[in-house]
Structure 1
């Protein structure tokens, strides 16, 4: 059986000042290490620095690898999810999308997860991060779509459903701030104006990320918030636990069930 929580403690001990050498040991890193590092930096991965070394020391003292091993087993069993490698690395505190305070951040690919961490007093923060990112992996495995086929609708549902799982399994205290950034009526208007007309665009379209992240002149974290809005509306009407929703097609979360007209989506 493969090692799920990768031995990044040993990798960091040997090569912390050479992140490319560390990433070359990962699946994605073997394809194009430098491009992967540039991408991960945007989402919070550390750059070599005294601050990163202090975080690494704290990770060792808190036995973070053992803690995440237990988390991985817990959620893989709960959600009947895939066994994918998880890389625990220090965070660069001035970068990342998920937390303005940069306590944690992460990136999920179909077959591996990168988590960027710093010392926190409440380890439930770590669980919330893991639950969100691992939820993506479980849903990817169930949908079984090609990367190039994922649409904006897929992306917003991924984020909204994963964060709703955080609320269910970790508690409302641990959900991201973007879940409550906009009033329901405001979000309804934003969805109709910007998200709904573009639900079928794919990741290669620059507008996809602009809407998802709220770049350019769009409201901050627009797509994330829209996804949470859709999931929240659905669960209120159907009283459905998130475990029963992980494998549902993205059109299932739309108010009319299929306003994109894409009946073949699965």
Structure 2
């Protein structure tokens, strides 16, 4: 199973998302209620009339076929793992990153959840898939335990994934957070907040505060810093995704001989 038959699952249980999640790998192995709460924070739908309309639109636009083609293309292009991908309606009115969501996703080591609605530009689906599947391929290459991932790993994951979007879909499809701060701001933020905490792991609450820009930190701080570090490492090369996919996160750190912060060119 690659693109899971969530169209069939939704037809049977759209009003019972827990029943749907029990068919997934995470839902079978973890507390399904906690999983649902986590996925809702990232954009998974709540049972409502709006979710039913989105589901009907997803069927009408044959999104399962669209993503089957994307999955085959990028699994071959990146020699990536065969993991289940779950297509589900997005929660329009609430989400972690924005108040009105059009698409979102969550990637685990061995499965991907994509939250969708109808898009005017079909390329938006590809951009979402590229970002999330890139995470999955990189995790497969790094072979690290979940508990060993650090803030440095997390910001590089996000930076590399969005550079892949830029490379394969075009710069017009990269996320807004890639342009949220200018070079001088990022240099200052990186040196002040990110650099001293590069080795903290995901269990430390500060990890998510810095990565997402929660509490008093600049919004999407870690994401933006990761994108900039990768930008610095690519040195104007156009095609770097396959080259960088399995590089250790330390590869993307600034040259310590010249600077301990992000270099501003």
Q: TM-score, normalised by structure 1?
A: 0.94
Structure 1, gaps ≥5 residues long: 260-266
Matches within 5 A, 1:66-85: 66-85=65-84
Asked whether the equivalents of residues 98 and 176 of structure 1 are also in contact (C-alpha less than 8 Å), the reply is no
Root-mean-square deviation (Å): 1.5
User: Does 1:146 find its partner at 2:124?
Assistant: no
Aligned counterpart, 2:41: 42
Aligned counterpart, 2:157: 158
User: Does 1:51 find its partner at 2:50?
Assistant: yes
Aligned counterpart, 2:2: 4
Helix, strand or coil at the partner of 1:29: helix
Aligned counterpart, 2:166: 167
Counterparts of 1:178 and 1:156, CA distance in 2 = 13
Structure 2 vs 1, CA of residues 100 and 124 (structure 1 numbering), >3 Å: closer, same or farther?
farther
Q: Deviations over 1:39-76 (max 9, x none)?
A: 00000000000000000000000000000000000000
Q: Deviations over 1:94-134 (max 9, x none)?
A: 22345554110000000000000011111100100000000
Structure 2 vs 1, CA of residues 50 and 239 (structure 1 numbering), >3 Å: closer, same or farther?
closer
Aligned counterpart, 1:29: 27
Q: Deviations over 1:127-179 (max 9, x none)?
A: 00000000000000000000000000000000000000000000011100000
Deviation at 1:227, TM superposition (A): 0.3
Counterparts of 1:57 and 1:244, CA distance in 2 = 40
Deviation at 1:185, TM superposition (A): 1.1
Counterparts of 2:19 and 2:75, CA distance in 1 = 29
Counterparts of 1:257 and 1:62, CA distance in 2 = 50
Aligned counterpart, 1:264: none
Counterparts of 1:62 and 1:258, CA distance in 2 = 53
Structure 2, gaps ≥5 residues long: 259-265
Matches within 5 A, 1:1-266: 3-30=1-28, 31-98=30-97, 101-236=100-235, 241-256=240-255
Counterparts of 1:239 and 1:51, CA distance in 2 = 41
Helix, strand or coil at the partner of 1:115: strand
In the alignment of these two chains, the number of paired residues is 257
Asked whether the equivalents of residues 151 and 211 of structure 2 are also in contact (C-alpha less than 8 Å), the reply is yes
Q: TM-score, normalised by structure 2?
A: 0.94
Asked whether the equivalents of residues 94 and 100 of structure 2 are also in contact (C-alpha less than 8 Å), the reply is no
Asked whether the equivalents of residues 167 and 239 of structure 2 are also in contact (C-alpha less than 8 Å), the reply is no
Counterparts of 1:127 and 1:85, CA distance in 2 = 17
Asked whether the equivalents of residues 167 and 238 of structure 2 are also in contact (C-alpha less than 8 Å), the reply is no
Counterparts of 1:206 and 1:77, CA distance in 2 = 37
Structure 2 vs 1, CA of residues 227 and 61 (structure 1 numbering), >3 Å: closer, same or farther?
same
Deviation at 1:239, TM superposition (A): 6.2
Counterparts of 1:80 and 1:129, CA distance in 2 = 19
Structure 2 vs 1, CA of residues 258 and 19 (structure 1 numbering), >3 Å: closer, same or farther?
farther
